[in-house]
Amino acid sequence: DLHLLSRRQRQMCIRDRTESAYDPGTGLFNKRAINEYTIERIRDCQNTHEGLYLAIIDVDDFKTINDTYGHMFGDEVLSRVSEIIRSDLNARGVAGRFGGDEFMILFENVKSEQELRLILKTITKNIQWAFADKEVSVTTSWGIAKYPEDGSSLEELFKIADKALYIAKAKGKNRYIIYDERKHGNIVTDREIQLNSGIRSTIVSDSRKAQIEYKNIHKVHAANFDELSKFCLLYTSPSP
């Protein structure tokens, strides 16, 4: 079992897995492998008290790129983005493809948020420059969470990073958001408030539509509607 091995042995075991651990389209870890590696590193850091950053990355408007320029070009975009991430990341973390145009990075050996920002700026700019001679603009949006401040498990960190990615998208894409509760508030609660607000708006809208439809039906079929109302009243009245 992996938990019986030393930290170095576990890292080598995961890194030296067969091709099934890698995404064939990008050469990065696949979802299972990057999740497994992250879980192991979090376990290590519980003893060493090291800090980690977990990032979720989306290629902006990737569906539009696919639909406009074809899937072959879309695959080229994913491959080039992966190469840039792997090259600029160097020995400061591990990257994986989470599925579709979504990637996950576990940043290691990053001593400060300032250093992290420099890495993020380098990666995002290099991705843009890689397609500068193309008709299409390729950009990325990022959401980042920090261990242990934002969570003590993969699930908790991923949830925060995913919400930070949502904020990056909502702010116009082509940016990164490093989650900070002082700046962004309780983003889980904020999302729930927005969702509930949207549901309420939908209910109000549907209610208004129903009122308009009712009036139209009454105008066109007044006689029939009167008969239907009598039937409904009779049907719903309690038995004596």
Q: Is 101 a catalytic residue?
A: yes
Determine the Cα–Cα distance for residues 187 and 156; give it in Å rounded to an integer: 13
Please tell me which residue in 16, 101, 150, 226 is annotated as part of the active site. Answer: 101
Q: Which residue is listed with tokens 């899937």?
A: 71
Burial of 215 (0-12, 13-18, 19+ CB in 10 A): exposed
Name the residue among 164, 6, 33, 157 with its Cα closest to residue 97.
33
Residues recognised as catalytic: 101
